Amino acid sequence: MWELLSIVTLTTLPQGVNPFYYDPVYYVPQYKEFLEVQSNLTKNLFTDYDPTISPVYTWIDVDQPIGYDSQAPKRWNYTVFLYYLKLVEVQEPEEKVSVVMELMEYWYDARLSCNTSLYQNTTSFYARQDNVWSPTLTVFGVNDIMDFRDQDNRMVAIDNFGFLWDYISVRISANCQMDVSRFPFDTQTCQIRFCLPIFYRVQVEILNEIYEGIMDENIFKTMGNSEWKLINLTNRVEVLKYNDNMGNMDLLNVGLTNIMTMTFILGVMADKIPRTGNIPLLGIYIIINLVIMLIAIAIVTAITELRRWATPKLKMKRSALR
Ligand SMILES: *[C@@H]1O[C@H](CO)[C@@H](O)[C@H](O)[C@H]1NC(C)=O
Ligand SMILES: *[C@@H]1O[C@H](CO)[C@@H](O)[C@H](O)[C@H]1NC(C)=O
Ligand SMILES: *[C@@H]1O[C@H](CO)[C@@H](O)[C@H](O)[C@H]1NC(C)=O
Ligand SMILES: *[C@@H]1O[C@H](CO)[C@@H](O)[C@H](O)[C@H]1NC(C)=O
Ligand SMILES: *[C@@H]1O[C@H](CO)[C@@H](O)[C@H](O)[C@H]1NC(C)=O
């Protein structure tokens, strides 16, 4: 009898109401309401959304300067925040530096903006990254990059204006030119460069920030390792172009890419000499020590020889005086 009744109740539910089991013992009513609103919001947002299509505006003549068309939207914004950097190792002979970077990407997709007043002021929600279009951040000119995130478990946060952000944790091995002439008191500067490949500079604007909280001596201390100390961290965005006077050719326009750079400066106190061509300071120190030792041995030998030569003569003199 009871079962029958419940079946009847279920079938008469109005369409669109979430039929999930709700027990007020476990959930406060507000939570149930939130879940319903969020479910409506995502359903409406993603109905016509195709995650394989990019939001980058392309009705732009790439040969014209940035912003030439006043009717066009501003360049598509893409920002990378650096939240943490950890030095893993520095291999001086190979001129290779490995770091772990914790980054946040932040971009804009107008198709995901919504009117919050229709959804009880819901200003943000989380979604699987597969459901949205994402740019592909690429590290420019590095040896090796390893993304620690689980492929199946990437999430993005979305706000009501259509801004999205996600978090990346990567290990990057970069080649950095090293100057060991001041070894073992050397300071090395290493650059890691990121870019968004294939987009033109007139279409995409790259921004780059370092989280202010980590720009602190005490936090820098935790970023180095036993051998190297992090001294400074800087960032900038530059344009990649080649100085070959071929500005009018289309080929060069392809090369005009925004590149963002994160530079870190390392100081070292190491216990081994790298196998390189020029003599490091430690080598000069050892050579000077050797020279001092040679001079000392020479002086001691000379004094002994002088004594041996002078003693018989002194004896002769003394006997002559008697
Ligand atoms: C969700 O959408 C359905 C259908 O449009 C509507 O009937 C329902 O009231 C909405 N729920 C909330 C909590 O807004
Ligand atoms: C992109 O960011 C720049 C700098 O913060 C800002 O001036 C510009 O309005 C942004 N563009 C869009 C489309 O949000
Ligand atoms: C958002 O929705 C509310 C309620 O339907 C409406 O009054 C308001 O004009 C809408 N705002 C915009 C910007 O469309
Ligand atoms: C949404 O925000 C507006 C303005 O802050 C407020 O007047 C309104 O009551 C809020 N609505 C809900 C459902 O919280
Ligand atoms: C780090 O580098 C920036 C830019 O070159 C400079 O302004 C700043 O003084 C440096 N900080 C330290 C602690 O050296």
The CATH number covering residue 103 comes to 2.70.170.10
Residue finishing a domain among 211, 238, 262: 262
Ligand 5 touching residue 234 (CB < 6 A): yes
The domain tally of the chain equals 2
Q: Is residue 276 part of a domain?
A: yes
Contact 274, 190 (CB under 8 A): no
Tokens 């500067």 identify what position? 189
User: Quick check: 82 and 101 in contact, CB under 8 A?
Assistant: yes
Ligand 5 center from residue 6 Cα (angstroms): 70
Three-class SS of residue 68?
coil
User: Whole domain around residue 308: which residue ranges?
Assistant: 272-322
The residue with tokens 């420019």 is: 140
- CA–CA dist 286, 14 (Å, integer): 89
| 16 CB near ligand 1 (under 6 Å) | yes
Low-confidence ranges of the chain (pLDDT < 70): 1-20, 184, 242-257, 268-279, 321-322
For ligand 1, is residue 231 a contact (CB within 6 Å)?
Answer: no
What local confidence, expressed as pLDDT, does residue 25 receive?
Answer: 78
Residues 127, 253: one domain? yes
Q: How many CA atoms lie within 13 A of 260 on its CB side?
A: 21
231 and 83 housed in the same domain: yes
Looking at the structure, do residues 173 and 315 belong to the same domain, yes or no?
no
Query: From the alpha carbon of 117, which atom of ligand 4 is closest?
Result: 1
279 lies in the same domain as 258: no
Q: What is the pLDDT of residue 5?
A: 43
Looking at the fold, whether 244 and 295 belong to one and the same domain comes out as: no
Residues 114 and 236 occupy one common structural domain:
yes
- Amino acid identity of 196? L
280 and 244 in a common domain: no
What is the reported pLDDT for 177?
86
Determine, yes or no, domain membership for 13. Answer: no
| 140 and 247 housed in the same domain | yes
**How many whole angstroms from 31 Cα to the centroid of ligand 1?**
15
Secondary structure (3-state) at 203 = coil
218 and 304 assigned to the same domain: no
Q: Ligand 4 within 6 A of 121 CB?
A: yes
Please indicate, yes or no, if residue 3 is contained in any of the structural domains. no
Predicted local distance difference test score (pLDDT) of residue 245: 53
Look at residue 176 and tell me if it is in a domain.
yes
pLDDT given at position 238:
85
Q: Nearest bound ligand to CA 116?
A: 3
Question: From atom 3 of ligand 3, which residue's Cα is the shortest distance away?
Answer: 117
pLDDT at 181: 78
Q: Is residue 7 part of a domain?
A: no
pLDDT at 104: 93
Domain boundary (236, 262, 288) is at: 262
Domain for residue 206, yes or no?
yes
Nearest-CA residue for atom 12 of ligand 1: 37
Asked if 239 and 186 sit in the same domain, the reply is yes
Query: Domain for residue 304, yes or no?
Result: yes
Give the residues across from 100 on adjacent strands: 86, 171
- Of 114, 115, 120, the one to substitute when testing ligand 3's pocket (max ligand atoms within 8 A of C-beta) is 115
Give 271's Cβ-side CA count (13 Å radius). 2
Residues 6 or more apart whose Cβ sits within 8 Å of residue 298: none
- Ligand nearest to the Cα of 121, by number: 4
Using CA positions, which residue lies closest to atom 3 of ligand 2? 77
| Best residue for ligand 5 mutational test, from 232, 236, 261 (most atoms within 8 Å of Cβ) | 232
At residue 278, the pLDDT reads 62
Do 291 and 183 sit in the same domain of this protein? no
Cα of 39 vs centre of ligand 1, distance in Å, is 9
